[in-house]
Structure 1
Amino acid sequence: MPGFIQITDTHIVAPGALAYGRSDTAEALHRAVATINAKLPVLDGIDCVIVTGDLTDHGTPEEYAHFAAIMAELELPWQAVPGNHDRRDAMRAAFAPAPWMPEDGPIHWVRDFGPFSVIGLDTLLEGAHHGELSLEGVGFLDAALAAIGAQPVVIASHHPWMHSGIPAMDADNLHGGGALMSRLEAHPAPARMISGHVHRAVTGQIGRVTCQISPATCHAVLTDHRVGHDPQLTIEPGGITVFRWSTAPQPGLLSDIIPTGSFSGPWPFADRPAEWEPRPLQNRDQQI
């Protein structure tokens, strides 16, 4: 069945540089691309990769060229929406030949996967960390939802509207997202919103809309629920999120977060070591 892979917050900098002096974002993206390529033979029906913003750290032509060079290793087509670290004109210039890139204006697009569609929404407000959906964006959304009718829909944006519980990040989420959510609430089929920005995996429900924030390929934001503390980065394993349409037990979209990198295994469970075998308890009172 059809599906896609979401990557987000790649934060590519100039070749040889580290983001924030600590994070090797290029190596992290190489690792994510290698993980995707290695997993493709065992993933059913994956059509493309969707990048939900912050492709680069400063939005420079050099950074976009570096991003493109790494993504050239990917064995799938990809498309993207910008994040607050991107710059719309530089991103458009870098990827102008791509069929999903509009000639001007915000970088919105729609991709039809058959059982469902994905609407990519540009929430970049240049010069600000938070996001906004412009009146033009609302108009694009209305037209796209009308065109897909009663088909299930996924909204792909950089900024989430759902709060993550990390106050410093929630202050810079999608401002004015109520207009978006009211339209998804009124949509006649299931709706989901997928985002990045927070550098953590967070899932919640707003009304009847599932909201999902995916982990970054590179560094993470420290989970810190205290008010008044600036966000801090940690170097944790990066992740990609696989979305696949399933028909059983009923039609719907499933997601699976896969850590990037190489890990031991796989091994058949039948070959488990002897020490894994269950041993009888000597006394029933010892059972937990």
Structure 2
Amino acid sequence: MTSFIQLTDTHIVSEGSLAYGRSDTATALARAVDTINSRLPVLDPVDCVVVTGDLTDHGSAEEYAHLRQLLAPLNVPVRAIPGNHDTREAMRAAFATEDWMPASGPIQWHHDFGPFAMVGLDTLVEGAPYGMVCEAGLGFLARSLKTTPDKPLVVATHHPWIPSGMADMDRNNLRNGPAMLDLLREHDAPVHVISGHLHRAMSALVDGVLHQVAPAPCHAVHLDQRADAVNSLVLEPGQVTVYNWHDVTGGLVSDLLPIGDYPGPWPFYD
């Protein structure tokens, strides 16, 4: 089986700082890397780790340098797309040596995993919290769909389009999700969309397209669905998401992996 791991919303700040004055995102990412590395021997072969945006908190070169330092011990390759907290050119410079990083324009890429393909799309609108897939991005997606017309496709974005019930987050989701969905529903094979941004695990089936949102390794967004709720963070346990391709289902099976060391494992029976 083929697998990949989704990491999202790492929100790395300058060394020695806390995000929002409360969240130790550097320690959270270091623990996530340790957890992934420790699990690699017992997982199906992991092709790569896909980081779905908000790699840094302010998009500075200093933050990206800190991020690269924290990711360096990871024992599998990394691919990434930007989120609303990133800056495109600083991210491009930080990952300039990676073969998936385009020299200019939106940060988007196509990767063939064998039984399925993945498209990473850039939803960053510089200076805005919401997301859009630009015309170049929609064109890139359309070309990718034509390149692999019969192959299942995973589309990675930072911003989701499914409603979370958290009013402040929903105002800043993907603004042109329907345009993207119009392309995806024409695909002749299964389509699976993975996103971040919400800092929570959520999923929905929209017109036959499964849209799955991953939690973060650091802080979560407080699940408060009242109309007048104040957008808040909560220091819930961090997680990463492991995806495995199964020929039996003809699709991906996901598992939320808690970050950290826990007692066990012990055989159920001696």
Shorter-chain TM-score bucket reads over 0.9
2:191 aligns with 191
CA drift of 1:269 comes to 0.6
1:265 aligns with 264
Over residues 167-193 of structure 1, what are the superposed CA-to-partner deviations in whole Å (9 max), with x where a residue is unaligned? 111110000110101111111000011
Q: Which amino acid aligns with 1:259?
A: P
Q: Percent identity?
A: 55
1: CA distance, partners of 2:247 / 2:262:
30
CA drift of 1:148 comes to 1.2
Bigger drift between 224-233 and 87-96 goes to 224-233
User: RMSD between aligned alpha carbons?
Assistant: 0.7
Match of 1:174, SS state, is coil
Bigger drift between 158-167 and 2-11 goes to 158-167
The aligned length equals 270
- Conserved in 2, the CA contact under 8 Å of 1:19 and 1:57? yes
2:241 aligns with 241
Equivalent residues in 2 for 1:204-223 (5 A)?
204-223=204-223
Q: TM-score, normalised by structure 2?
A: 0.99
Over residues 29-70 of structure 1, what are the superposed CA-to-partner deviations in whole Å (9 max), with x where a residue is unaligned? 001000000000010121100000000000000000000001
CA drift of 1:217 comes to 0.9
2: CA distance, partners of 1:183 / 1:3:
25
2:156 aligns with 156
Higher Rg:
1
Q: Which amino acid aligns with 2:65?
A: A
2:254 aligns with 255
CA drift of 1:164 comes to 1.4
Return 5+ residue gaps in structure 1 as ranges. Answer: 272-288
- Conserved in 2, the CA contact under 8 Å of 1:12 and 1:63? yes
1: CA distance, partners of 2:37 / 2:153:
26
CA drift of 1:228 comes to 2.4
1: CA distance, partners of 2:61 / 2:269:
52
2: CA distance, partners of 1:251 / 1:84:
33
Q: Which amino acid aligns with 1:46?
A: V
Return 5+ residue gaps in structure 2 as ranges. Answer: none
2: CA distance, partners of 1:126 / 1:267:
49
CA drift of 1:101 comes to 0.2
2:226 aligns with 226
Q: Which amino acid aligns with 2:36?
A: I
1: CA distance, partners of 2:77 / 2:232:
33
User: Structure 1 residue runs of 4+, over 4 Å off?
Assistant: none
CA drift of 1:230 comes to 2.1
2: CA distance, partners of 1:217 / 1:53:
13
Equivalent residues in 2 for 1:1-288 (5 A)?
1-248=1-248, 250-271=249-270
- Conserved in 2, the CA contact under 8 Å of 1:109 and 1:120? yes
Match of 1:254, SS state, is strand
- Conserved in 2, the CA contact under 8 Å of 1:168 and 1:228? no
